[in-house]
Amino acid sequence: MTLRRRLILAVLAAVAFAWVLTSALIYLSAQEEINELYDTAMVRMAQQMQALLPRVHSRASPAAPTDGPIPGDADLVDEGSAGLGDLAIAAWRADGEPLHIDPDGDHLPRAPGVKGFTERKIDGVAWRLYYLDDPVQGWRVCVGQTMGERGELIVGYLQAQVLPWVLGLPLLTTLLMWGVARALRPVLTLSKTIAKRVPGDPTPLSLNEVPRELVPLVTEMNQLLGRATALLEHERRLTADAAHELRTPLAALKAQWEVARRSDDPAERTRASANVEAGIDGMSRLVSQLLTMSRLEDEEAPPTRGPVDWHEVSRQVLSDCLLLSERRNVDMEILWPQEGHSPLPVNGDPTLLGTMLRNLVDNAIRYSPAGTVVTLAFEQDRITVSDHGPGVAPELLRRLGDRFFRAAGQQEKGNGLGISIARRVAVLHGLALEFANRPAADGSGLVATIHARNQARHPI
């Protein structure tokens, strides 16, 4: 069902409900007002009749008609005149003798003891009766009216309310269709504008001619468009960087493979095969890191959250880096806070945080001279990974973490993604990753510090 049809049906349903509710209130109000009006007239008529009764000098009562009409007889009324048969009056002397004042009233019961208003059925017709007594002379007066008279008036009043609704419904529907179509015109215009846009166009949608109600929607669409554009740009940049980084290793692998395939020297073939194997390992590591980086770029928060057990995470990190440290002859140590103090509290994904620390420790081992120590220190407000390598030029410290960035003159093989991954994991967990060279008094080396993002880094 279209939005236009839903709006029209919703408005019609609301109008119908409001009309039914209003009609019910009008019915109750009309019933109360009509009853009050007729009751007042009956009281006044009874009072006037009681005032006239003492003027009757003769005690003789006129004979009751033998062929008179019964209460409610429609033959009493000429077509187009008032329904006189619906209203009757009767009077009695103190001894109960009826005064035949109104032929219709002769059928009204005297009902001794009843005062004021009451309702009864007379010959199957519902009547509303009012009784008034004269405490001095003993006269008793009764004024009666059929209930159907009041009901007919109320029904006629409601019919007058229904008729305009029935006649005006087609006009109302037409006006609603026109009004809804006009109100939805900006939505159609907006959809056509979006349909005409070229894929990848980052230009935000204009808010100049957008109705106020659609401004939040268009604003969110512009924000979504910005995020999509940034994501596409990220993917293009990642693809370009990956293609650039893979081109050289692939060419080297091909050259080494040609050497291994064509060389007649067994030693040369062995060296070429070893180079091919090392190249495949390097490419495997590069592809793995590219996939990890791509996945982390798409994340807005850690996949899982919970208190992190740094003891378990650090044991796994040392286990993963043990083979490399033994091959490079670099020792690893872990320092913990003083007893009674907990290391930096973090809620997040232990696997990702382990990847962050592993990349930092791996990087520190690769750039540390043989016989030195890489230290992973946990403190209450931070975590540091420090080495005794050559350090980094001060002007290049801020570039550490840029994808595929490697300082010139580095002899260690790598692709520059490890620190990028570590920095992205830190951001996902509300942490900051900063680098600084060791003070000259402590010798050369690089210190990576992890701390809460809103916390200023302590000087090394």
- Using DSSP's 3-state secondary structure scheme, residue 121 falls into strand
The pLDDT assigned to 300 comes to: 66
Which backbone phi and psi does 84 adopt, to 5 degrees?
Answer: -65, -25
**pLDDT number for residue 296:** 66
What CA–CA distance (Å, rounded) separates 32 from 153? Answer: 12
User: Cα 207 from chain centroid?
Assistant: 23
Question: Which of these, 131, 137, 134, lies nearest to 112 by C-alpha position?
Answer: 131
The length of the chain in residues reads 460
Fold for 303-452, please state it: Heat Shock Protein 90 (3.30.565)
Structure tokens at 84: 């006189």
Whole-number pLDDT of residue 142? 93
Written as one letter, the residue type at 446 is: L
| 451 bridge partner residues | 382, 432
Sorted by where each begins, the domain ranges of the chain are: 3-55+70-163, 212-296, 303-452
Q: Return d(Cα 263, Cα 203) in angstroms, integer.
A: 58
Q: In sequence order, what are the beta bridge partners of 130?
A: 117, 143
Residues whose CB falls within 8 Å of the CB of residue 399, separated by 6 or more in sequence, listed in order: 405
- A 10 A CB-CB count for 350 gives 18
Matching residue, tokens 């007919």: 152
Q: Residue 77 — φ and ψ, nearest 5°? A: -110, 130
Contact 86, 146 (CB under 8 A): yes
Angle at 90 between CA 87 and CA 96, to 5 degrees: 160
Q: What is the pLDDT of residue 70?
A: 47
- The two beta strands, 140-146 and 125-133, are antiparallel
The Cα–Cα gap between 361 and 126 comes to 101
Architecture in CATH of 212-296: Orthogonal Bundle (1.10)
Tell which CATH architecture fits domain 3-55+70-163.
Answer: 2-Layer Sandwich (3.30)
Place of tokens 């590219």: 290
CB proximity list for 254: less than 8 A, separation 6 or greater: none
Closest CA to 209 of 180, 175, 186: 186
Question: 249 Cβ partners below 8 Å, 6+ apart?
Answer: 279, 282, 283, 286
- What's the pLDDT score for residue 455? 59
Instruction: Residue 233: count other Cβ atoms within 10 Å of its Cβ.
Output: 12
Instruction: Supply the pLDDT for residue 22.
Output: 81
Residue 282's pLDDT is 66
Q: Say how far apart CA 367 and CA 328 lie, in whole Å.
A: 10
Q: Is the C-alpha dihedral spanning 447, 404, 353, 427 positive or negative?
A: positive
Return the closest-CA partner of residue 313 out of 352, 285, 339: 352
Q: Quick one: pLDDT at residue 329? A: 93
- Tell me which residue of 281, 343, 349, 280 sits closest to 311, measured CA to CA: 343
In this structure, are residues 105 and 68 in contact, taking their beta carbons and an 8 Å threshold?
no
Q: What is the DSSP-derived secondary structure letter of residue 135?
A: T
What local confidence, expressed as pLDDT, does residue 80 receive? 41
Instruction: Identify the pLDDT of residue 405.
Output: 55
Q: Are 132 and 120 in contact (CB under 8 A)?
A: no
Instruction: Tell me the pLDDT of the chain (460 aa) as tens digits.
Output: 677 778 778 887 887 788 788 878 888 888 888 888 888 988 999 888 888 887 754 444 444 444 444 444 444 444 444 455 688 999 988 888 888 888 888 888 888 888 899 998 888 888 989 999 988 888 899 999 888 888 888 888 777 777 777 777 788 778 878 887 887 777 777 778 778 877 767 778 877 777 777 788 888 888 888 878 777 776 776 676 666 556 656 777 788 788 777 888 888 888 888 877 777 776 776 676 667 666 666 666 676 788 889 999 999 888 888 888 998 999 999 999 988 888 999 988 888 888 889 889 988 998 899 999 999 999 999 999 999 888 887 877 776 766 655 554 455 555 567 788 788 888 888 899 898 888 877 778 899 999 987 755 444 4
